Amino acid sequence: MANGVQAVPDARATTELVPVITPGHSFVSVTEKISKIVLRKDTPIGWFLLFALTLGVSGLLATSLGYLVFMGIGIWGNNQPVGWAFDITNFVWWIGIGHAGTLISAILLLFRQQWRTSINRFAEAMTLAAVACAGLFPLFHTGRPWLAYWLLPYPNTMGMWPNFKSPLVWDVFAVSTYLTVSALFWYTGLIPDLATMRDNAKSRIGRRVYGLLAMGWRNSAYHWQHYEVAYLLLAGLSTPLVVSVHSVVSLDFAVSVLPGWHTTVFPPYFVAGAIYSGFAMVLTLMIPIRAAYGLQDFITMRHIENMAKVMLATGLIVGYGYSLEAFMAWYSGNRYETFMMWNRMTGPYWWSYALLILCNVVTPAFLWSKKVRTSVGALFVISIVVNIGMWLERFVIVVTSLHRDFVPSSWGRFSPTIWDFSTYIGTLGFFLMLLLLFVRFLPMISIFEMRTLLPSAKVDEAHGHGH
Amino acid sequence: MTQDARELWRSLDELADDPAFRERLHREFPTPVEAVTDPLERRSFLKLMGASLGLAGVTACTKQPVEKIVPYVRQPEEVVPGKPLFFATAMPLGGAGVGVLVESHEGRPTKVEGNPTHPDSLGATDVFAQAAVLDLYDPDRARVVTNVGEIRPWPTFLATLRAALAGQQRLRGAGLRILTESISSPTLSAQLQGILTQYPEAKWHQWDPAGRDTAYSGARLAFGEPVETLYQIDRADVIVALDADFLTCGPGSLRYARQFAGRRRPSEAERMNRLYVAEAMPTSTGARADHRLPVKPSEVDLIARQLAVAVGVAGVPTGGSFAGTAAEHVSRWIAAVAKDLQGHKGASVVIAGPSQPASVHALAHAMNAALGSVGTTVVYTEPVVTSPVDHSESIKDLVADMTAGRVDILLMMGGNPVYSSPADLTFGAAMAKVPLRIYYGSHDDETAGQSHWHVPQSHFLESWSDVRALDGTVSIIQPLIAPLYATRSPHELLAVFSDTPEKSGYEIVREHWIKTTGLGRPDDESDATPEFESRWRRWLHDGVMEGTAFAPRAVTLRADATAAAAALSGSGADIQFRTDPCVLDGRFANNGWLQELPKPLTKLVWDNAVIVSPTMAQQIGVETSFSYQGGERGQTLSEIVEVRYNGRSVRGALFPVVGHPDAVVTVHLGYGRRRGGSLLRGAGFDANAIRTSDALYVGRGVEITRTGDGYSLACTQGHHSMQGRGMVRALTKEEFLRHPEAVHEGFESPPRTLTLVPEYKYEGYKWGMAIDVNVCTGCNACVIGCQAENNIPVVGKAQVLRGREMHWLRVDQYHRGAPENPETFFQPVPCQQCENAPCEVVCPVNATVHSHEGLNDQVYNRCVGTRYCSNNCPYKVRRFNYLLYQDWDTPSLKLGRNPDVTVRSRGVMEKCTYCVQRINEAKITSEKERRKVRDGEIQTACEAACPTEAIVFGDLNDPQSRVSRLQAEQRNYAMLADLNTRPRTTYLAVVRNANPEVGA
C-alpha cells in the first residue's frame, strides 16, 4: 500500500485502490493549492458568517462559565445523588473526540499508513480544540474552580500533596500530558509548512508572523534531520497516550464502587469508543470542508472510506463492550449490578439507552456496505449519529448509574437546565471557532508531507548525494 | 583537503573547500555525532543555585503588624470566651412546658438540649424545641409596637390602653375580652385571675386551633371534672392507641416515647410491650405499632365502643357496624386486642387521641377503669392548664359577643386567631366591630394585620416566665439573652392592667412565687427571704421546682360516661384535620428548619397536601409521578384538587399515602399563611378555610374534584421499597427468639481478614454509633438537632425540588407489605464513618481523610468541590453546597450559629462528622483531668435529641461502653456490609411483638 500511488498511475483505471492524492499534481501545484487557502486575500464570505456565528456561541460559553463561577454549580441540574451529569459527560465526550488526532498522527505514522498524511494536520488541530473544550469541564465543574490548581502537585505552604490515589489526579496528569504532547506534535509538524507560508506570504505581517512561528526554518538538511528525529520521537511518545488518556479517564469511573461504573472492561472499551467518536468527528468536519475548499484531490474517497472502516471496527468493539456490560451484570449475580442494568434498560432513562444502541450499534452496521462507505452524504449522516450516540453513551454511564445506586431512599433524577445546554453548546461553538481560525490561518493539510507522496518525490537512491 | 579529480562537485565553493565553506557546510549538514560541551562549570552552577534558593527564602519573612483587640472590659462571671455555658429553662407549647438546657456562647443561645431532670423531657427534645433557636433569631419577627402599621412608642400604647380601661372601670370590664391560648403558667394565670377580679364582667376566652380540650371534655364526660390524664407507658404490657399519636405528638410525648422504647429491647424479650394502633392518617406511632388498623377517623368511635364492650365496660350503646370485606378483619382485630388487654389487666392502657371527640375519650377512661389500669398505667391529676374549657365554644361565644357589639377592647395574646379560627365563625369580620383591637404576638401576621395595636412578643428564650409540665411540675423559664428587640413577655403585657404597668417580667414571676411559697419578708411581701433566694437559685439551676408535681387524684366514673355516641351523620368520605408534624398549627410556619424538615410518612417539605389513599387517588383520577428534575428525591408531580366540604372549598395538591384508609381525606393545618414572615408565603394551602366549629377534627361529606392544574410537591423520598437490600431488617419476636441469626441471613459480610495490607490498629479511641431502628419513631428531633448543632443551611423549596436538601442526617423510611396497611420503618442515616471509606480514596485534594480514631474527617477549606466523594458514597450521606445556601448577611441569624462548627460556603462538600467538635471538647476536658473520656460523656447532637435513645455513640475500644454492647448484640448489622466498607455506624434490627391472633 505504501507505494500504491506509483503502482497505479491512473486512479480511475481501478476501483480497488483509490489513490491518496489525485494524479497530476506537482510540487508547485500542491503547495499552491494548500497555501492559497490561507494566503488568499479574499476570505470567503461564508467563513466570516460561520466565524461570527461560532464567535457568538463562544460568547455564550463565556457567559455560561462566568455565571457559573459567579453563582455556583447549582445553576446546572446536578444534584444529590447525581453529582456529575452534563459536565463529566461532555468532558469524556470531548476527550474522546480528541483521540482521533493522536491516533491518526502517531499510530498511523508508525504503521506507515501514508493515507494519514492528508488528514493528520486537521485531525491534530481538531484534537487540540477538543481537548481545550474537554479541559474546561473538569476545571469548571468543581465547586471552587479558583482552587482547582490544588489538584496539581506543587510545593506549597500547606505542605499538602494531592491524593495520588484519586483517579481525578491521574486525570490531571493524563489530560495535561496529552494536551502538551499533542500541541508539541502538531506544532513540530507545522514548522516546515510555516516556513513555506513565510516564503509565500505576500503581506509584511504574514511574513513576520509566519516567520516568527517558523522559528528560523531554512530547510537545511540539519533541520530536516532534527525534525525527522523529533517527529518520530513525539510519535513514539504520543502512541501510549492514545491508550493511556482514555484509559485513565475511564478509571474515573472504574475505580469507584458504583454499579455501572465499577467495571474492569472500561479502559479498552473507552479507548475504542474514543477512537470511534474521534473518527466520526473527523468525518463530520472533513466532509463539508473538503467540499468547501475543493480538496477532493488531497482528501480522496480512499481517506473517507478508510475512516469509515476504522469507525466500523471501533463501533464493533464498543458494541461488544455494551453486550459484555450487560452480560457481566447478569452473570455476576450481584443484586446491585443486575438492578443497574435493568434500570438502564427499563428505568426512567430507558430512552437514552435505547437511543444509544440505535446510534452506536445499529447505525454503524450500514458501514458494512461499500456503497455506504463510499457515499459522502451517508457517511456525513452516520458520523453525526455516531457523535450523538457517543455523547449518549457517556450520559448513560454517568447519569443512569448515579441516579439509582445502593440506597433506594436516595434515588433521584437529573434534568438539565438551560445552563447545562448553553455550556455544552458553547463548547461546540468554541470548538468550531478554533477550527475555523485554524483553516483560515494555517495550512490544514501538511504541504511538505503531501509533496513526499508525489511520484516526483521519489528519489532514485543511485543518483543521491549519499548523505 | 585534497580533491580527488573523480569526485563530483556542485559549486565553486565546494571545489575551493575553504574554511568558510566548511563552516557553512557544517551548519547546513549534520555530522553523525556532536559533542555537547557545557560552558557552565558544575561548581559555579551549584553556587548560584544555592544562593538563589537562600535569597528566595529570605523574601518570605515579612513582619506582620500587631493588632490588639480588647477582651471583656468586665468579664461576666463564669464566662470564658470559647466555653459554652448551659442554662435550664423550659419551652411552653400546647399548654405545657418541656424542660430544656440551652447552650449559650458568650451570651448567645445557640442550641437547645433536653433537661434530664425535667419529667417531660428526660433529656430529650422534640423538633420544636430544637428549632426554637431559629425562631428566636428569625429576622421576620415583629420588633416594635405598631399602631395600624405605624411605629409607636410604648407610652403611647400604654396611654391608649389605660384610657380605654378607664372607660371599662365603671362597666366593671363588660366590654373587655381577653383571648389566649391554653395557659399553664401559674404566674400568668394568677395575673389573668387578677384582671378578672378587677374587671368582674370581663371575659377570658381561649382558643387553640388543635389543643387538648377534647381530652378535658372527655374527662368531664367520664368523671364530671376535667382531670388531666397521665399514662405510665413503662408499666404497660399492652397499649391501645385510638387515633392517638402519643409517641411524637403533644405534651408528654417525649416521656411516653422514652417509656415505650424502654420496653422494646429484644434483649429483654419478656418485657417487650405490644402496641395496637387504630388510626386514619399514618403516624409515627402507627408505624411503631405491632398491629396497626387503618380506619376512618369517624369509625374510631365504633371501634372504641366495640372494644369497650369486649373488655367488659357496661352501658355502652352499640349500633353501627363495619361493612364490607374489611369487617371481618376489624372484628378479629378487636377481639384479639380485647383478649390481649384482658390478659394484662392492670398492665394495659387505652389511649384516645386529642382529635377524637369527648365520647371516645370517655370510652377510653371506662376501658382503663374496667381493666384495672387506673393507678397503675393511668394516673389522673388536676389539669395542667388553667381553667380548661371547650375552645370551640369559647371562641364561638367571643365571636357572638363581638358581632353583637358587646366588645370594646379585645386583647389577643398569641394564637393568630384570624388565621386559625374556624371558617364559619368569620372571626376577622366579627373582630372588625371591636373598637380597640390589640394583638400580642411574635410576628406581624394575619391577626396583627387586622388589629389596631400590635405588641411584639418576646421569645421564651428572652423572657422570664414559668410553665407546668404535664404532671404539674413547674419550671421557671429564665431568659438566655436580653430581648433582641423592643418586645415584651406576656407578664409584662398583662402588667399594664395592674397599677404597676412597668414591672419587669422577672419581678412579676418572682413575686408570684414569693407569694405562693409564702417566703416573703413579713414586712414586705415582694422581698424575698434568704430561704426563698436559695430555693429560687435551685429552681433556676435544676430547671424544675421539686415537689410541684400534682398528686394523683381519685376519680369515679360516672354511670352515663359511655352513653353518648359520636357517630357522624351523612354520607360520603370523611375529612380529617390534623396539625402539621412540622409547623403545627402554623405557628412555626416561618421557621426554615421546620419547613424544610421532611414530614414523617409523607416526606413532604414546604407544603401540606390533600392526603388520600392510593386507591382513592386512583378513583379521583390523579396520578402522581416523579419529575425528571429531582425525581424521587425531590420532586413529585401532582395535581391541584378542589376539596369541597360544607359549602366551602379549598384547593391543594393531592398526595397519596400508603396505609391511609379509603374514603378519608386528611388535610393538615398550618399552611396557606398569608402574612407573618418571608418563608411562609406560598407554602401549601389553608385548611382552616374549610374547617368549621362543629367539625374541628373530623367531618363527613367531603368531595374532591380535579382541577387539572399540575403542582410540584417537594418530597425528599419517593421510593420506599428496600429492593431486597436489607437496609432495615425486621422479624417478629418469635422468629428472633427461635433463630436470632435470621437477621443476617441473605446478606453477605466479607471477613475482615480479606485484605492485602495489615489492618489498621485503632489505638486510643475508636468511635462508633449504634442506631436501634426498632425504637426509632421517625420523630425527626435528631435531624433538627443536627441542623442546629452543625450550622446546616436551609435551601428552600426550589432547591429541594432539585434534590439538593442539605441535611447531614436523614430519616429514611421504608415500607413492607400491602399498600393498604404496610409495615413502616424509620432509619436515621448519618455518615456511616466507614473504615474502608470509598469517599476518601477518590478525593483528589485529600479533603476527606481518615482520622486515627476512625472518623471520616471532611476538611471544608481544602475541598474544591469535585463531588466525586458523594458519587462514590454508597450511603449518599454527603451534601454539596450547589449554591450559596448559607445566609451570610442577616445579622440575627449569625448570632444563632454554633461557633464551634465552620459555616460552609458554596462549592464545598459537607457531611456528618459524629459532632467532632463535641468529641474534641470532651477529649480536651478529659486530658486536662488526666483520664479517658467516659462513656456517655460525648453525646452527638442527634443522640442527645433522641427521645427513645435509639442513637448511641461511644468508644468501640471500650468493651463496656453502651455502643460496644449494642454492637455486640445479635440484632446488630451494618448497612450494605457486602461492599466491605466496614461502617462504624451500625443498626439494630426491628423485632416486632406480633400477636398471632390478629392475623395479617
Residue B722's closest chain A neighbor by CA? A408
Bond prior to A81 in cis (omega within 30° of 0) = yes
Query: For chain A, what are the domain ranges?
Result: 19-143+162-177+239-459
Domains of chain B listed by start with CATH number: 85-136 (2.20.25), 147-211+387-503 (3.40.50.740), 226-381 (3.40.228.10), 588-715 (2.40.40), 730-753+761-992 (3.30.70.20)
DSSP code, position B852 = T
CA–CA min distance B576, chain A (Å): 29
Binary contact (B629, A77; C-beta < 8 A):
yes
pLDDT band at B13 (very low <50, low <70, confident <90, very high): low
DSSP run (H or E) holding B193: helix B186-198
Q: For residue range B228-279, what is the model confidence (pLDDT) as tens digits? A: 999 999 999 999 999 999 999 889 999 999 999 999 998 888 899 999 999 9
Residue A400 contacts residue A352 (beta carbons within 8 Å): yes
Chain centroid to CA B711: how far? 26
Residue B964 contacts residue B973 (beta carbons within 8 Å): no
Q: What pLDDT does A201 receive? A: 87
Q: For residue range B86-109, what is the model confidence (pLDDT) as tens digits? A: 999 999 998 899 999 999 998 899
CA–CA min distance A462, chain B (Å): 14
Residues of chain A with pLDDT > 90, as a percent, come to 55
Q: Chain A interface, mutation test: which of B721, B867, B878, B978, most A Cβ atoms within 10 Å? A: B867
Residue B724's closest chain A neighbor by CA? A335
Q: For residue range A321-339, what is the model confidence (pLDDT) as tens digits? A: 999 999 999 998 889 999 9
Q: What pLDDT does B45 receive? A: 60
Q: How far apart are CA B841 and CA B868, in angstroms?
A: 10
Q: Which of residues 15-44 of A touch B (CB under 8 A)?
A: none
Question: Measuring CA to CA, how many Å separate A269 from each of A350, A450, B925?
Answer: 21, 34, 56
pLDDT band at B40 (very low <50, low <70, confident <90, very high): low
Residue A172's closest chain B neighbor by CA? B844
Characterize the bridge pairing of strands B610-612 and B604-605.
Answer: unpaired
Residues B606-620: b if buried by 16+ CB within 10 A, e if exposed: bbbbbbbbbebbeeb
Contacts of B813 in chain A (CB under 8 A): 409
Binary contact (A409, B812; C-beta < 8 A):
yes
DSSP code, position B816 = E
pLDDT at B667 over 80: yes
DSSP per-residue string spanning B149-179: TEE--HHHHHHHHHHHHHHHHHHTTTTEEEE
Contacts of B878 in chain A (CB under 8 A): 80
Q: How far apart are CA B769 and CA A373, in angstroms?
A: 64
Minimum mean pLDDT range among B435-444, B755-764, B834-843: B755-764
Which three cell numbers, joined as nine digits, stand for B713? 410537591
| A177 in contact with B, Cβ within 8 Å | no
Q: What pLDDT does B29 receive? A: 66
pLDDT at B321 over 90: no
pLDDT at B992 over 60: yes
Find all residues with CB under 8 Å of B948, minimum gap 6, and list them: B124, B257, B258, B260, B261, B772, B775, B776, B777
Q: What value does the mean pLDDT take over residues A407-423?
A: 94
Q: How far apart are CA B161 and CA B384, in angstroms?
A: 31
Contacts of A151 in chain B (CB under 8 A): 844-845, 864
DSSP per-residue string spanning B427-448: HHHHHTT-SEEEEEESB--HHH
Binary contact (B841, A255; C-beta < 8 A):
yes
Q: Chain A interface, mutation test: which of B846, B858, B860, most A Cβ atoms within 10 Å? A: B846
Binary contact (B802, A79; C-beta < 8 A):
yes
Q: Between A420 and B758, whose confidence is greater?
A: A420
Q: How far apart are CA A376 and CA A134, in angstroms?
A: 28
pLDDT band at B5 (very low <50, low <70, confident <90, very high): low
Q: How far apart are CA A206 and CA B725, in angstroms?
A: 69
The model carries a pTM of: 0.90
Rg (CA), chain B: 34
Which three cell numbers, joined as nine digits, stand for B439? 394583638
pLDDT at B32 over 60: no
DSSP run (H or E) holding B270: none
Binary contact (A415, B719; C-beta < 8 A):
no
Q: Chain A interface, mutation test: which of B25, B635, B802, most A Cβ atoms within 10 Å? A: B802
Binary contact (A80, B846; C-beta < 8 A):
no
Binary contact (B979, A412; C-beta < 8 A):
no
Residue B843's closest chain A neighbor by CA? A166
pLDDT band at B76 (very low <50, low <70, confident <90, very high): confident
| A216 in contact with B, Cβ within 8 Å | no
Binary contact (A150, B864; C-beta < 8 A):
yes
Q: Which of residues 178-207 of A touch B (CB under 8 A)?
A: none
Find all residues with CB under 8 Å of B106, minimum gap 6, and list them: B79, B81
Chain centroid to CA B355: how far? 21
Q: What pLDDT does B58 receive? A: 53
Residue A253: CB atoms within 10 A of its CB come to: 23
Q: For residue range B206-234, what is the model confidence (pLDDT) as tens digits? A: 999 888 889 999 999 999 999 999 999 99
Residue A252 contacts residue A167 (beta carbons within 8 Å): yes
Question: Measuring CA to CA, how many Å separate B914 from each of B33, B131, B674, B954, B972?
Answer: 68, 20, 39, 10, 19
Chain centroid to CA A445: how far? 17
CA distance between the termini of chain B: 114
Residues of chain B with pLDDT > 70, as a percent, come to 94
Binary contact (B838, A405; C-beta < 8 A):
no
Interface confidence, given as ipTM, is 0.91
Q: How far apart are CA B255 and CA B232, in angstroms?
A: 9
CA–CA min distance A167, chain B (Å): 6
Q: What value does the mean pLDDT take over residues B509-537?
A: 85
Residue A237 contacts residue A181 (beta carbons within 8 Å): yes
pLDDT at B361 over 80: yes
CB pairs under 8 A between A and B: 221
Q: Which of B654, B666, B668, B691 has the alpha carbon at shortest distance from B588? A: B668
Characterize the bridge pairing of strands B228-231 and B238-242.
Answer: unpaired
Binary contact (B865, A407; C-beta < 8 A):
no
Q: For residue range A145-195, what is the model confidence (pLDDT) as tens digits? A: 999 999 999 888 888 899 999 999 999 999 999 899 889 989 998 999 999
Reduced to 3 states, what is the DSSP secondary structure of residue B103?
A: strand
Find all residues with CB under 8 Å of B544, minimum gap 6, and list them: B88, B99, B115, B117, B118, B119, B469, B473, B474, B475
pLDDT at B201 over 50: yes
Q: Which residue has the cell 506570504?
A: A201
CA–CA min distance A312, chain B (Å): 34
